[in-house]
Chain A
């Protein structure tokens, strides 16, 4: 029975990749076509900048998967201005720089701490992939093993599944549950479901944020707490709900209880 692991297009050979180099457009002829020989190019507007906004539509609809949206920091001349956004996105992505560009943001370490990446933990992920689990499942088991998605693990997944790294990275950033940076010892998930909202969840998350002095989605510098929001944990009768780690769910938490909870956990951490 057929089971396709998605596209097998190689990033290096793909047409848009060549175009994105931006120096000499290597114009490629469509393979095995006698009529309507195609040339790949990106349209520029009058000011000379490219019109492409990387909306990824062409990549998605291409019937033969020959287009791959691929950024690579070693090329200075990017056809669209995404530098700032990319820098912001990649700043949270810890890992090795490829070394091609001194200003590359990929090598930047996140604030705080970076744990050692033990590649032995990765064997189970590889085994899962060979067993036919999909990309999303592979990312789940990686996160289970490390608590977040280390860059080197994403690269290994890409290699194992024969997918471009950009694709793996794209999927990892699409879903709200995946984290690209390590989390603290205590992960606080504040439920932002409708029932919790009505019961005052925005005030609760704000109280956590003030008490921990970090914005939503960030980890405290001491590596103790990570503050996150979650769409709905389904315990609406106990709204507002806070989940602590994977196991503990606390119901009916107001801003005052939130502050007390943080203080209590902090206190427990300080050796007597």
Chain B
């Protein structure tokens, strides 16, 4: 078959794959888009949808105004989100009772319901359109471009927005090595955290002979506080399927059969459901399976669900898990690209890496390489959470500063709170202080600062978070998630945790700090995989940047953030207490006494420091103070 003939045939097949009668999401049509991401679902998306359908039916608009349930819009703090097209009006935090108003004014009429609009946190001005809101305006979306625009259940939407064109192009050119060259030239690096050049990995994998080549998508997003992979799978599953199919063609064409797996967390039911639907649709339309688009190339993808083990994000543990073993990693003297799943050459990339591939094929390597820094190209999605105003998904070019992401796009700290640290890279990353806010975010500079890119979780903490307690949280996590294969990690992380717990209890010594450092180095040296190799990162970065706070626990027996329980006590501020009796009712242990309209008191013997009273008090009359005098006394005895 000549190249020209092949091109026509694949082009025809791609056209035939689209169903012309299907409804297509279009920015210029009268549409109501409801965000159906996990966060918006949790903040009441279902009730909203019901109210919407009812209101449209009552006015006889059901046929004229389409309701599209899209993937995650990214602005999770403001959910549930509704966007009214064609005006592009952005309505956040809606309640079902607001729907009637919106339909009356913005759908039937051409007005704007001002009271429901998003208010700019800086100026308090209402902003009507998505494009005016700084959170969106300052982002540069490649991977998330179609999130919030298309229905993830509709392959036609994806096709209508240029989907699978990259796959068709690759199949038409019939030049697998050319694809690898292109991806390598783009400078795309693995988005899962390690940052290995994707193109080079593909080349290695292709170069290794085997009965079958495996293409695996790592969607085991175990980092607590990171949810970008989930949002891509939920919002635009076809982009991942297309990226994987292109990878399969580049690696496996003319060199034997290729098979695909998506290893996705069981905790993400929506992502699994949408991916499953997308795979079925793609197969049905000839975009996946036997003889894709009539090109003669065959590739199919299976879904494999994880079962709640953080270590399975590690490539060799992941393949062990698919094979039905305990998810324990092995030494990497033989790389996965040579012997991975079932001992065959295996290419394993992250969700975001695959989702970048169609864009690179469509726009060329140069356009991609033009974004980002010298060594880190393209964009990266971060999930910004913690004590910031605009939490959610943020896609920016590599090399943006932390300040830009947290303050310009993220809207800065919650009112009245002070920035203390940002934690990057989950339990394997580190906490960076305010002095590093102007550092660019790329693979190298983060490692140099003692943190890492990780999958892109970014948790901002303020002065109410105790850094020692924060480290304790991460160590508890790694100690629990350590698979137990390497002794330094299994036992060492437990010992690290014990030392930190001791410090939290005010029982630590200054020798403990040296012990933490030596032990951390041993764990890094003696672990096979990156879980152990990076588990001490939170400890080391905290010792590096927040040593004073750790020393305050040891030397002064004081927790500056007032979190560590043995070092604090709850008291009642006599001036502020109005005797409203709310804390009295809320206290689970009856530790609070006092009559209505009289000053209340807390019995320290009964108090379990559950923080309930402080949270329910409307007058800030329950300050947390240092328990140091009492403790010092106890020590003397």
A interface residues with partner B (beta carbon < 8 Å): 1-6, 55-57, 60, 134-137, 139-140, 161, 163, 170-171, 174-178, 192-198, 200, 203, 206-207, 210-211, 230-239, 241, 246, 249-251, 254-256, 259
Contact = CB atoms under 8 A, between A and B. Distances in A.
**In this complex, which of B324, B484, B586 has the most chain A Cβ atoms within 10 angstroms of its Cβ?**
B324
A158 B324 CA distance: 12
Contacts of A230: 267, 308
A174 B461 contact: no
B151 interface: no
A2 B586 contact: no
A144 to B, nearest CB: 10
26 contacts: A1-B211, A1-B257, A2-B211, A3-B342, A55-B485, A55-B487, A135-B324, A139-B307, A140-B266, A175-B307, A175-B308, A177-B266, A192-B224, A194-B225, A198-B387, A198-B465, A231-B224, A232-B227, A233-B38, A234-B267, A236-B225, A236-B383, A249-B41, A254-B615, A255-B611, A256-B612
B588 A6 contact: no
A241 B616 contact: no
Contacts of B321: 136
Interface stretch (B49-57, B83-91, B325-333): B325-333
Contacts of A207: 588, 610, 612
Contacts of B224: 192-197, 231-232
B342 A233 contact: no
Contacts of A250: 42
Interface of B: 38-39, 41-43, 76-77, 79, 211-212, 221-227, 230, 257, 259, 266-269, 304-310, 321-328, 330, 342, 344, 383, 385-387, 391-392, 423, 426, 457, 459, 461, 465, 470, 473-474, 477, 483-485, 487, 586, 588, 608, 610-612, 615-616
A135 B465 CA distance: 41
A195 B41 contact: no
Contact of B309 (A4, A134, A175, A254): A175
**In this complex, which of A176, A203, A230 has the most chain B Cβ atoms within 10 angstroms of its Cβ?**
A176
A140 B307 contact: yes
Contacts of A135: 324-325
**In this complex, which of A137, A207, A236 has the most chain B Cβ atoms within 10 angstroms of its Cβ?**
A236
Contacts of A241: 42
Contacts of A246: 269
B307 A231 contact: no
A134 B470 CA distance: 37
A234 B41 CA distance: 12
Contact of B342 (A4, A56, A198): A4
B305 A237 contact: no
A234 B308 contact: no
A254 B588 CA distance: 13
A196 B224 CA distance: 9
B230 A251 contact: no
A214 B96 CA distance: 37
B76 A2 contact: no
A69 to B, nearest CB: 11
B607 to A, nearest CB: 13
A155 to B, nearest CB: 16
A259 B588 CA distance: 9
Given A136-B307, A136-B324, A235 B616 contact: no
Nearest to B227: A234
B133 to A, nearest CB: 15
Contacts of B483: 174
Given A136-B304, A231-B224, A210 B588 contact: yes
